[in-house]
Chains A and B, each alone.
Chain A
């Protein structure tokens, strides 16, 4: 392999030529964003048995205490993980994008410890956990990619702890938007400088641990700076560089170039 070609781009190009792999292509693309997968590995993932299911906005696919038998793969739309305190206070603890597997932890843990719901109307592929487990036993490359996917999600969780615990409100919001910008870029079929983020201000409040009025104030401030726009009830990122400056954003925790290191 010539040194001026990164393995990542080469493998991604191979994958783009293979988009006929069906609905699970988007999961393969997500895994290829951080892991190397052979052609045979990719074909084996594409051949996983699955049922397609659509859910409306707010629809639930996993509840705390469930003993899951399927792993939902998000094909389109956004989803989130939430935990609810005894007084009803809700915290959104993760955001999931198209291509994300929503419940890999139930491969190895018996009971769900949080809820998974749809942020937008969504399309899911429901894959039996047993089929994924068999695949990980048969194919170490797939097992490694799934492990890396889980490790990166926990890295994102650590960054969110820092974000909520130690950054001021403006930087907290700007940092989240930068992260979503980069994560959407990784799975988007065409690149764009402008991204629509389908989060309402109430959801941002539950995600960032701020009051809705405080969120509105920070949104207004970023809007005045020209960093974001508000076309409807969602937000649009207009100036990533400005948001990155406000939040001192570094994407190292997303491990986006992980595959090229191997």
Chain B
């Protein structure tokens, strides 16, 4: 099973050093959204930065897979 790392930046920078085994990229997308939802539910202020909240998901080789962004548009 591929291994993915979920790094957050902007409102809440954190490099994920453990990561998680997931069946495929689609499962990684769901996990990223769930993780982001859980972080934002604790601290909605994470979105209130200039560039909003961002999770970058990378694979074991360090390749960038996708990003999840949450921004507020006025």
Contact = CB atoms under 8 A, between A and B. Distances in A.
Given A168-B43, A211-B38, A220 B17 contact: yes
A170 B12 CA distance: 14
A212 interface: yes
B20 A217 contact: no
Nearest to A215: B18
B18 A168 contact: no
B35 interface: yes
B14 A217 contact: yes
Interface string A156-197: 000000000000111000000000000000000000000000
Nearest to A210: B38
Interface in B38-60: 38-39, 42-43
**Interface size class for chain B?**
10 to 19
A53 interface: no
A217 B46 CA distance: 15
A201 interface: yes
Interface in A214-244: 214, 216-217, 220
B35 A211 contact: yes
Contacts of A216: 16-18
Nearest to B37: A211
A210 B41 CA distance: 11
Contacts of B35: 211, 213-214
B11 to A, nearest CB: 14
Contacts of B6: 213
Given A168-B43, A169-B42, A212 B14 contact: no
Contacts of A220: 14, 17
Interface of B: 6, 14, 16-20, 31, 34-35, 38-39, 42-43
Top 8 closest pairs, chain A to chain B, by CB: A216-B18, A168-B42, A211-B35, A213-B6, A213-B35, A214-B38, A169-B42, A212-B20
13 contacts: A169-B38, A169-B42, A170-B42, A211-B34, A212-B20, A213-B16, A213-B19, A213-B31, A213-B35, A214-B35, A217-B14, A220-B14, A220-B17
